[in-house]
A and B are shown apart, each in its own frame.
Chain A
Amino acid sequence: NAGVTQTPKFRILKIGQSMTLQCTQDMNHNYMYWYRQDPGMGLKLIYYSVGAGITDKGEVPNGYNVSRSTTEDFPLRLELAAPSQTSVYFCASSYLQGANGYTFGSGTRLTVV
């Protein structure tokens, strides 16, 4: 049982480049989330999904896109990377929203130069 798997763990992008952060969970959780964590700012919700085919914006969605074609996968897309997107990104999942806590991936450290 792998839980929530995120790839890659580290990435350096040039301004204007695009990339996809992958997130997969094998717990059959309905809810999946993408957060970014900036120093001193805690975790901010980017996008979330309540099930396959359904996504919604969180607090800081600008510059990102997501899709949820399957229950297991919830990739996060950065189309035109900007230095402001330098952060640590965490994917999480839960069976019900907030119930029994979230299961988090190990994070992706992204630097945009």
Chain B
Amino acid sequence: EPEVTQTPSHQVTQMGQEVILRCVPISNHLYFYWYRQILGQKVEFLVSFYNNEISEKSEIFDDQFSVERPDGSNFTLKIRSTKLEDSAMYFCASSEGDGTYEQYFGPGTRLTVT
């Protein structure tokens, strides 16, 4: 069964450094998402992406975040200058369509900012 994959599974970085989290969505999916979960808190929506542009973003998704689909398979989340509070689990998801379509989640990348 096709699944969403994410790399790396764990990333450790120093404050102020740039990180890129990678996701490979399911191949025929058109909508892509990033969520994050700070330890002990709710899973929070960051951004959705469709047709090579951001379709929706939350208040968390400020100028230090960016997303890109650099080729036909990868979907990336870049954090330009990491802060301690960016430490979280980051989940990528994809769906075949909008509306009623199910979002399929990847296993997540644990980001630790020191």
Pairing of A with B: no
Residues of A in contact with B (beta carbons under 8 Å apart): none
